[in-house]
Amino acid sequence: MFSKKALTIKEQIAQLQQRGLSIPNVVLAEKYLSNISYYRLGEYWYVMQLDKEQHLFKPNSNFKDVIALYNFDAELRLLLFDVIEKIEISLRTKLIYHLSHEIDPWWFQNLDLFNDSMALVKTLSNLQQELERSKDVTIKNHFKNHKDDKRFPPSWKSLEQTSFGALSKLYGNLKPTIKSKDIIAKEFGAVNHTYLPSWLQSIAQIRNYCAHHSRLWNRNLPGTVKLLSKPPYPWIVDSINVPKQHEFRKLYIHMCLMKYLINIIKPQNDFADRLNDLFVKYPNVDSDALGMKLDWIKEPLWKK
């Protein structure tokens, strides 16, 4: 039976000190712990512990390094969220445009176009909920002016209300015979539809971590991605710097895919500079925990 009692902030600090974490500025530590929970910060000091059963810290472990790591992670999430936003908007635009022209504006309701009808029903159910609670004037006016039309609003209205995750599922669930599926993949530099779904699912998952303020540093990502053997746009040329299959759980390869896509969407982007600036700002951050390669910024992918 769980028997631990809740600790006051002073007790939390005393416990950390007893376990070997240096906290020279107790007042500042109290300020942090009153705004960032002990449990959340624990995800960042966990790696500093020599004995993880007794929670004893390694020599020279310092509270300020915990906060630096926490701040690095927070700024990394903001950076990736900004990059992912542009990818999401581009994907939404391409889906709406190409499928509405190839099929019709209600293509996303057509069960015949999708491999998994049950998955589509679930996606549409979530979309319906989004539309019902939407405060968007366009959506409200559509339902008001088209009361007799029992369909969803057309794709250019409906799909503006849904999430990146739902968009990636719609794309991945499309039958391979749908021409637009390959067209969109080619526009994203993915050659054909077999590669892009795993990229989008990975990025959508990372977007959710960012949106919910979850830790990215030193996190194992459950998704896997399929890489092109010969990408049509700048990629990683040094074989040493290409992540191996067992490294796909680290963030680096997923950031590479984001960079690959954003280079196509917005060629003059500053993703590489901003990411490098983060490592300069926080020099004590262990970049290996993200799967970073030593000369990553020199690769053609990141130079662009």
Task: Please indicate, yes or no, if residue 297 is contained in any of the structural domains.
Answer: yes
Same domain, 50 and 171: no
Contacts of 168 (CB under 8 A, 6+ apart): 91, 197, 200, 201, 203, 204
CA distance 197 to 90: 15
CA distances from 295 to 7, 172, 239, 275 (A): 44, 33, 12, 13
- Choose one of 68, 85, 102: the last residue of a domain: 68
Same domain, 77 and 64: no
Q: What is the mean pLDDT of the chain?
A: 94
Q: Structurally, how many domains does the chain consist of?
A: 2
Strand partners, 49: 57
Strand partners, 232: none
Phi-psi label, residue 57: left if phi above 0, alpha if psi -120 to 50, beta otherwise: beta
* 31-40 long-range contacts, CB within 8 A, separation 24+: 32/67, 33/9, 34/9, 36/70, 38/7, 38/12
Q: Which two tokens stand for residue 7?
A: 């600790």
Q: Which domain holds residue 33?
A: 22-68
162-191 pLDDT, tens digit per residue, is 999 999 999 999 999 999 999 999 999 999
Task: Please indicate, yes or no, if residue 11 is contained in any of the structural domains.
Answer: no
Contact 57, 19 (CB under 8 A): yes
What's the mean pLDDT in 236-262?
A: 90
Q: pLDDT grade, residue 304 (50/70/90)?
A: low
Per the listing, tokens 């909920």 go with 129
Identity at 278, one-letter amino acid code: L
Q: Phi and psi (nearest 5°) for 267? A: -55, -40
What's the mean pLDDT in 71-83?
A: 98
CA 292 to chain centroid, in Å, comes to: 17
Same domain, 61 and 191: no
Task: Please indicate, yes or no, if residue 196 is contained in any of the structural domains.
Answer: yes
* Residue 290 DSSP class: G
* Residue 49 DSSP class: E
Cα angle: 253, vertex 256, 261; to 5 degrees:
135
Q: pLDDT grade, residue 246 (50/70/90)?
A: confident
Same domain, 217 and 242: yes
Task: Please indicate, yes or no, if residue 17 is contained in any of the structural domains.
Answer: no
Same domain, 26 and 118: no
Same domain, 63 and 91: no
Task: Please indicate, yes or no, if residue 15 is contained in any of the structural domains.
Answer: no
Same domain, 226 and 83: yes
Task: Please indicate, yes or no, if residue 4 is contained in any of the structural domains.
Answer: no
Q: pTM to 2 decimals?
A: 0.94
Same domain, 94 and 220: yes
192-239 pLDDT, tens digit per residue, is 999 999 999 999 999 999 999 999 999 999 778 999 999 999 999 987
* Residue 192 DSSP class: S
Same domain, 55 and 90: no
Task: Please indicate, yes or no, if residue 1 is contained in any of the structural domains.
Answer: no
What's the mean pLDDT in 113-128?
A: 96
Same domain, 295 and 213: yes
Q: Would strands 56-57 and 49-51 be described as parallel, antiparallel, or unpaired?
A: antiparallel
Same domain, 51 and 108: no
CA distances from 52 to 14, 56, 62 (A): 18, 7, 17
Task: Please indicate, yes or no, if residue 14 is contained in any of the structural domains.
Answer: no
- pLDDT for residue 30: 98
Same domain, 93 and 165: yes
CA distance 297 to 301: 8
Q: CA dihedral defined by 178, 180, 184, 185, rounded to 10 degrees?
A: 30
